[in-house]
A = this chain, B = another copy of it.
Amino acid sequence: MAKASQTYSAGLIIRQKEPTNLETPFDQVDSYLTPTDLFYIRSHFAAPRLELASYQLRIDGAVRNPLSLSYQQLRDMPSETRVATLECAGNSRVFLIPQVAGAQWELGAVGNAEWTGVLLGALLERAGLEDDACEIVLEGADRGTPTEEPVPPGPISYARSLPRDKAIQREVLVAYQMNGRDLPQEHGYPVRAVVPGHYGMASVKWLTHVQAVREPFRGYWQTSDYGYWDYLDGKPVRRALGQMKLKSEIARPRVYETLAPNYVYPVFGAAWAGETEVTGIAVSTDGGQTWAEAEFLDPIQQHAWRRWKFDWLTPTEPGRYTLMARAKGANGNVQPDKHDPNYGSYVINHPLPIEVFVDDRTNRLV
């Protein structure tokens, strides 16, 4: 029974039904740009429905000329297009042992898309950003009461800040298109931020408010959630997650696939980093004891992933084998061996074990 030919996508894996948290079946990834329908969906609250006719983007706070722009005014500004990989900071959480709270993302809370919009920097320039503004708060129209401790006193809008220096970089967009079409509802229609190099939580969807502030923003999603423990003179201090860490993932084979012995299997995956470049990729087929170089399929392009391939001559010996991939960055760093507990349930960027079986199927019923 063949699949219908008139399907455009493989659909998504449900990790949480409401709010909508759906994962890309990562073994279905092939193309450099993740098709919009296959792109993961991460929501904190129900998706707000914004109307184009009444949409306004306010830009205020530490600016000389507060603005409010309609959707058409945004579209009339010069547009820029960027390719950027977005990864949820909790991607691969299901690999943490023991299990931790939160959506149990496997490999597919990451995707690479082409985004079109206006430069956030251009908007801030037009509004006359004050010299003493240190951060830019991006606020979405999605709203509710979050549940992680410490819980705020009432409903709040989703909001995250960017350091001023990042916000004015030419990669940061206020975007209205994804892969050449209007943003779908659940990807932030009609307007979202896209912050290449940072974990997905920075790319605020349903963006309606940009506020320049003179002191670091300590909102819920920079302290309670999406935070980590750093050390200042030996004392733990709470910081907000920002840049994506160096990471690679194996798309194929998938966990618990069964492969034929003594065949060349093209192990396939992707690797990415935040602000550095991915320059090397190695694969282990013995659980990390030995590593061999894999081959990149895409050139270096900052903020975008590189797909890679490794031709594995499967063992003649049936058994269970553990595959891992490990990326190297331009700075010489490689992925860490283990998850850093200071990141709590986030930043899971150690080489992830993909367990597969090699088995000769001659004489097998099913």
Contact = CB atoms under 8 A, between A and B. Distances in A.
Contacts of A359: 8
A11 B27 contact: yes
A218 to B, nearest CB: 28
A8 to B, nearest CB: 4
B17 A94 contact: yes
A46 B69 CA distance: 58
Main DSSP-derived SS at the A contact region: loop
Contacts of A35: 366
Interface string A171-202: 00000000111000000000000000000000
A255 interface: yes
A183 to B, nearest CB: 13
How many copies of the shown chain assemble into the complex? 2
A7 B265 contact: yes
A97 B20 CA distance: 11
A357 B22 CA distance: 15
Interface string A1-14: 10110111111111
Contacts of A18: 97-99
A114 B258 contact: no
Contacts of A364: 180-181
Interface residues of A, number: 60
A222 to B, nearest CB: 25
A18 B8 CA distance: 34
Interface string A233-270: 00000000000000000001111111110010110100
A33 interface: yes
B27 A94 contact: no
A153 to B, nearest CB: 21
Contacts of A14: 94-95, 104, 106, 255
Contacts of A263: 4, 6
A132 interface: no
Contacts of A97: 17-18
A9 B223 CA distance: 43
B252 A33 contact: no
Given A15-B104, A260-B6, A37 B357 contact: yes
Contacts of A179: 365-366
Nearest to A312: B4
Given A17-B99, A104-B104, A366-B35, A254 B10 contact: yes
Given A14-B106, A180-B364, A366-B179, A257 B7 contact: yes
A259 B31 CA distance: 19
A286 interface: no
Contacts of A95: 14, 17
A125 interface: no
Interface string A266-285: 10100000000000000000
Given A16-B104, A260-B6, A365 B180 contact: yes
A25 interface: yes
A94 B19 CA distance: 11
27 contacts: A1-B268, A4-B265, A6-B259, A6-B314, A7-B260, A8-B259, A8-B260, A8-B361, A9-B257, A9-B258, A10-B254, A11-B27, A11-B253, A11-B257, A12-B256, A14-B255, A15-B104, A16-B99, A17-B97, A22-B255, A31-B366, A34-B366, A37-B357, A180-B364, A180-B365, A180-B366, A181-B364
